[in-house]
């Protein structure tokens, strides 16, 4: 079972994976995927069978429901979204099967179906959706024969519920048979008469609730991303609700709410930034929450969320995707950002975030900056600021009080989505990379820019090594069929010429957060990219300028949606990984195991996969890699001379089967055992009487005494144990 990447609103509604309520063994599981179909497992999830063929091939399936008491009736809902004006191809709506998924009929055409519930008393089915023209809808379905979809009758209840600007993503039935329905960011209501009339719930914040760090001052109502709600089966007045900022709990039947999200990550992170002098101060910019300040270098995993401290503009939730700590002994801390397409906003602090001063932004066209254009990248050098907004680059020489446009992209839309595409070179040199526009260089602090000097017509990200600012690295790929595909390239002359590094390959998974990521510092490089054999993008690390690579992530632990990689200047080798999956991860490379070192030497990888897999045999000599490693062979040259050898000897009247093993002296993670048996079919195998008579650095000799009495046969093998 597989799934493609999600669109933003594909994560609302649900559930997309359920246990069949009619199976008391809990072995029957249904699962909807994002644009790869519907699946069912009959063995508790060990194996899966696709259901419905290509009916849902390009639909993001959000909700799957099997009627209780009627396992043959299956409901499937999903669709597509026009995020960024670029909807994926596919179909949306509500499908129904009366034959356990043998065939499906679409009974409601929609752009997206979020939730499906059945009322236990009336038997009616309620459906929350967005119709094909974008309208938010709540429907009630009744039927004279639930096994015959032609008897289904739809009633639009949206007017009864009250219109809203957000999708209706909350829909549940309580144990008193009342129905809860709610818009994502607005009205949540309750009906006690099968959906005919609705009463809005207060959704107020409990007066004794401790305000979390992310909550806005003066906020009196639970806001942002109300999605799912469940009722405690042991306490009908205790409700739990998921929101955009975590879990809220009510103990009075939904009248008031208290946050209960300690320990749950909530923010989409961007590239981590470090204080230039104090290694303990680390700032993780985030979406919505403005950022987290870590005061212990990240060792505790806890920090201060600064949303309540930073002065907020009318649009209170905004993305601080950039921060610059400036230079000097006591640098000024500047946070820059905006919420999606709203005005650029700057605010500064010189006391580690305890107090803030608004420097620019807050109204359309403030201080020479355009409206509707968020900050994407910035450089701060004293009073000189360079800021890349969504379309153009602006410069200030008075600490952000006034800005002048110095570069126009000529493109509309988000052309800097790689983030940090402004880079500092030696002296007054500044670099700027614009997708499809190429690589630019300024020699006067960004006041003027010439024509692109290289990397024309490509898509990706460029970084300069702060310790060697004339050395740049670019991770490029073909988002559309242009350029030369994805590759990692290095320039040692300020961008005039480039050389390909490694074997990074073309990858197009789409989406802002799927752009390749890179950071470089003093010859160390971290990239989120793809190499031959990778089905998904992985994080790779090099400490020698890109000549050799080790992989940070393994196939089963891929980190998705990486939004930023940052090499820690105070802890060499440490990589900070920010994601759109609401986490920030710290990786510190350790010493490679002997086997990983052997793989790196022979295959230039550190994980056993592909032709470097444990039991792969790339030289086709019948000896798998793990045995080549143990017996000191060459996995890329056919040769059987290093295999163990057997012979019969006699010593002081005792006959032995002698086993000679050539071993790799560096394979300290391998244990060798000489085992034997008299029955090759049934065993048992043992090494109980096996004697190690020579424990040399490169040769081991074992002796197995022949058993006394009649002996039909004696079989021996060498067993390897890899630590």
Look at the chain and count its residues. 723
* Structure confidence at residue 356 (pLDDT): 65
Whole-Å CA distances, 236 to 120, 172, 309, 634: 17, 14, 38, 68
pLDDT in tens, 41-64: 999 988 999 998 888 877 888 899
CA R_g for the chain: 31
Q: In what order do the strands lie in the sheet with 584-587?
A: 562-567, 575-579, 584-587
Quick one: pLDDT band at residue 500, thresholds 50, 70, 90? Answer: confident
Quick one: pLDDT band at residue 553, thresholds 50, 70, 90? Answer: confident
* Structure confidence at residue 703 (pLDDT): 93
pLDDT at 240 over 80: yes
Look at residue 83 and give its three-state secondary structure: helix
* Structure confidence at residue 480 (pLDDT): 43
Look at residue 664 and give its three-state secondary structure: coil
Distance from C-alpha of 24 to C-alpha of 168, rounded to nearest angstrom: 32
pLDDT at 525 over 80: yes
Quick one: pLDDT band at residue 101, thresholds 50, 70, 90? Answer: very high
Distance from C-alpha of 706 to C-alpha of 282, rounded to nearest angstrom: 67
* Structure confidence at residue 314 (pLDDT): 37
pLDDT at 590 over 90: no
Across 187-191, 479-483, 572-576, 665-669, least confident range: 479-483
Whole-Å CA distances, 565 to 105, 568, 614: 46, 10, 31
Entry pTM: 0.61
* Structure confidence at residue 190 (pLDDT): 92
Distance from C-alpha of 221 to C-alpha of 359, rounded to nearest angstrom: 30
> What would the two tokens of residue 87 be?
């909807």
pLDDT in tens, 257-307: 888 866 455 566 778 888 888 888 888 777 655 677 788 888 876 776 665
> What would the two tokens of residue 464 be?
């300069």
* Structure confidence at residue 88 (pLDDT): 47
Determine contact, residues 455/440, Cβ cutoff 8 Å.
no
Determine contact, residues 18/66, Cβ cutoff 8 Å.
yes
Distance from C-alpha of 558 to C-alpha of 530, rounded to nearest angstrom: 11
Look at residue 85 and give its three-state secondary structure: helix
pLDDT in tens, 512-521: 345 678 899 9
- Read off the pLDDT of each residue in 461-466 and give the average, rounded to a whole number: 89
User: Which of the two residues, 181 and 506, has the higher pLDDT score?
Assistant: 181
pLDDT in tens, 398-422: 877 788 888 876 554 444 444 567 8
Distance from C-alpha of 605 to C-alpha of 555, rounded to nearest angstrom: 13
Quick one: pLDDT band at residue 34, thresholds 50, 70, 90? Answer: confident
Q: In what order do the strands lie in the sheet with 38-41?
A: 17-19, 29-32, 38-41, 49-51
pLDDT at 665 over 60: yes
Distance from C-alpha of 442 to C-alpha of 382, rounded to nearest angstrom: 18
DSSP H helices in 131-177:
158-161
User: Which of the two residues, 208 and 5, has the higher pLDDT score?
Assistant: 208
pLDDT at 211 over 70: no
Interior/surface letters 371-409, b for 16+ CB within 10 angstroms, e for the rest? eebbbbbbbbeeebbbbbbbbbbbbbeebbeebeebbeb
Across 176-190, 293-307, 359-373, least confident range: 359-373
Query: Which of 305, 310, 308 has its CA nearest to residue 294?
Result: 305
pLDDT mean across residues, the chain: 79
* Structure confidence at residue 132 (pLDDT): 83
* Structure confidence at residue 201 (pLDDT): 87
Query: Which of 90, 95, 89, 57 has its CA nearest to residue 77?
Result: 95
pLDDT at 556 over 50: no
Percent of the chain with pLDDT over 90: 31
Q: Counting beta carbons within 10 angstroms of the beta carbon of residue 552, is it exposed (0 to 12), middle (13 to 18) or buried (19 or more)?
A: buried
Look at residue 471 and give its three-state secondary structure: strand
Distance from C-alpha of 56 to C-alpha of 53, rounded to nearest angstrom: 8
> What would the two tokens of residue 635 be?
């996995």
- Read off the pLDDT of each residue in 461-479 and give the average, rounded to a whole number: 83
Determine contact, residues 573/543, Cβ cutoff 8 Å.
yes
């Amino acid at each position: 079972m597989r799934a493609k990447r999600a669109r933003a609103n594909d994560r609302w509604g649900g559930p997309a994976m359920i246990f069949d309520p009619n199976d008391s063994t809990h072995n029957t599981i249904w699962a909807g995927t994002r644009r790869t179909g519907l699946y069912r497992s009959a063995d508790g999830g060990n194996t899966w069978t696709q259901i419905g063929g290509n009916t849902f091939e390009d639909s993001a399936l959000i909700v799957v429901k099997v009627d209780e008491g009627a396992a043959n009736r299956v409901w499937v809902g999903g669709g597509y979204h026009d995020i960024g004006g670029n909807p994926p191809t596919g179909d949306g709506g509500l499908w129904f099967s009366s034959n356990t998924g043998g065939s499906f009929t679409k009974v409601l055409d929609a752009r997206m179906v979020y939730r499906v519930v059945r009322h236990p008393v009336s038997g009616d089915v309620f459906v929350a959706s967005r119709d094909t023209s974008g309208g938010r809808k709540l429907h009630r379905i009744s039927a004279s024969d639930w096994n015959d979809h032609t008897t289904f009758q739809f009633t639009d209840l949206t007017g009864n519920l009250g219109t809203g600007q957000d999708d209706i993503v909350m829909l549940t039935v309580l144990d008193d048979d009342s129905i809860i329905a709610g818009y994502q960011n607005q009205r949540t209501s309750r009906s006690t008469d099968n959906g005919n009339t609705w009463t809005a719930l207060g959704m107020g914040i409990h007066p004794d609730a401790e305000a979390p760090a992310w909550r806005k001052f003066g906020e009196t109502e639970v806001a942002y991303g109300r999605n799912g709600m469940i009722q405690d089966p042991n306490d009908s007045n205790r409700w739990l609700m998921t929101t955009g900022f975590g879990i809220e709990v009510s103990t009075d039947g939904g009248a008031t709410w208290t946050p209960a999200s300690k320990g749950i990550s909530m923010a989409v992170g961007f590239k981590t930034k470090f204080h230039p002098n104090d290694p303990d101060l680390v700032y993780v910019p985030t979406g919505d929450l403005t950022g987290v300040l870590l005061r212990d270098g990240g060792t505790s995993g806890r920090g201060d969320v600064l949303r309540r401290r930073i002065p907020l503009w009318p649009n209170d939730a905004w993305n601080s995707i950039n921060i610059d700590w400036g230079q000097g002994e006591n640098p000024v801390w500047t946070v820059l950002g905006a919420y999606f397409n709203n005005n650029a906003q700057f605010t500064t602090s010189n006391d580690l975030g305890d107090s803030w001063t608004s420097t620019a932004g807050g109204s359309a066209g403030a201080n020479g900056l355009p409206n509707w254009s968020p900050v994407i990248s910035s450089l701060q050098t004293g009073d000189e600021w360079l800021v890349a907004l969504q379309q153009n680059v602006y410069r200030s020489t008075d600490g952000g009080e006034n800005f002048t446009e110095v570069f126009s992209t000529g493109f509309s839309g988000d052309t800097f989505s790689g983030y940090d595409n402004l880079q500092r070179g030696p002296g007054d040199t500044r670099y700027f990379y614009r997708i499809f526009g190429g690589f630019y260089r300024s020699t006067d602090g960004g006041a003027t820019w010439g024509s692109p000097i290289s990397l024309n017509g490509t898509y990706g990200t460029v970084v300069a090594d702060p310790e060697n600012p004339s050395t740049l690295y670019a991770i490029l790929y073909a988002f559309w069929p242009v350029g030369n595909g994805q590759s990692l390239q290095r320039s040692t002359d300020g961008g005039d010429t480039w050389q390909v590094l490694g074997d990074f390959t073309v990858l197009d998974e789409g989406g802002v957060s799927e752009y390749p990521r890179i950071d470089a510092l003093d010859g160390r490089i971290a990239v989120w990219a793809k190499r031959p054999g990778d089905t998904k993008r992985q994080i790779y690390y090099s400490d020698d300028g890109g000549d050799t690579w080790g992989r940070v992530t393994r196939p089963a632990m891929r980190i998705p949606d990486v939004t930023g990689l940052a090499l820690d200047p105070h802890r060499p080798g440490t990589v900070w990984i920010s994601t759109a999956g609401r986490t920030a991860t710290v990786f510190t490379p350790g010493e490679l195991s002997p086997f990983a070192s052997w793989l790196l030497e022979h295959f230039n990888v550190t994980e056993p996969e592909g032709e470097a897999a444990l039991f792969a045999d790339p030289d086709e000599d019948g000896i798998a890699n793990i045995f080549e490693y143990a017996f000191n062979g060459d996995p890329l040259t056919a040769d059987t001379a290093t295999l163990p050898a057997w012979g019969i000897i006699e010593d002081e009247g005792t006959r032995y089967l002698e086993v000679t093993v050539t071993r790799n002296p560096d394979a300290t993670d391998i244990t060798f055992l000489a085992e034997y048996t008299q029955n090759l079919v049934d065993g048992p195998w043992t090494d109980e009487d096996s004697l190690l008579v020579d424990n040399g650095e490169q040769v081991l000799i074992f002796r197995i005494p022949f058993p006394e009495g009649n002996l039909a046969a004696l079989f021996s093998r060498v067993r390897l144990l890899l630590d």
